[in-house]
Amino acid sequence: MLLKNKVAIVTGGAKGMGRGIALKFAEEGCDVVVNALHLDGAEKVAEEIKALGRKSMAIKADISKSAEVNDMAAQTIKKFGKIDILVNNAGGVSGVKGGDSSTATEADWDKVLSVNLKGAFLCCMAVIPGMKKQKYGKIINLSSMGAVNPAVSVLHYHAAKAGVLGLTTNLAFELAPFNIYVNAIVPGPIETPFWDSLQPPGPQRDAFFKALAQKEVPLGRMGKPEDIAGPALFLASGMSDYITGQVIYVAGGQPLLSHAATFLSAPRE
């Protein structure tokens, strides 16, 4: 039980990587607050966590609004007495079309940065005072491969996720004396509902995923939420107690490896 007696908040925990992280934490003894913009999905995951024998609470909160974020932190402390772990997973580009220099608008920029960067900032600010008081905390921020190695131009989203990396290193430096660890995960292409708005599930998307994995990912496959949950568990647990301010690429070999650097590109006999 790597997280026995710990309490975590996982934002965007109703589906995809957030759900995978929340369930993995619960399996390791953690009580988990599941945050989402829509309560139904969060409640379903909370019930899954309870079925694993842990305590859980679903909280609907828009992470871009400080009042709702602060209330979420207050509710967590009221129920569980503390917050040991924060996973800033919530984000995305819902309702935004395009994003390169010819299509991005000021309104889209404000909306996307508000959720993906401001939201992470607000959640950190809400939990840091309690973590300072207990002289312990683990903060894990989810960035994006597009922040460091974009395959397409999505200015607002990728800029926001690059900002998350800056937020991570600055907070890690500031909070190290308080025994608060702040690290980031950069996911590669992961099969999650994030893709639903871009391409509906079905044979066409399956073929796209297969082609993408074979062309872009040295390991030759798309990632699953469970592939992110493992590194998140490592960063949330005592196994990473001498690690802070770091970025872990969980991306099947991206971006540092290319097919040219592996045997995948060699003729097969």
CB atoms within 10 A of CB 39: 16
Rounded CA-CA distance 182/146 in Å is 21
Ordered strands of the 56-60 beta sheet: 56-60, 31-36, 7-10, 85-88, 137-142, 180-187, 247-250
**Helix or strand (DSSP H, E) at 165:** helix 155-175
User: Pairing between strand 31-36 and 7-10?
Assistant: parallel
Cis before 201 (ω within 30): no
Rounded CA-CA distance 21/67 in Å is 25
Among 157, 181, 242, 249, the one annotated catalytic: 157
Q: Which token pair is 219?
A: 């390991």
Angle between helices 225-236 and 16-27 (to 10 degrees): 50
Q: Is 157 a catalytic residue?
A: yes
What type of residue sits at position 82?
K
| DSSP three-state, residue 238 | helix
Tell me the catalytic residues. 157
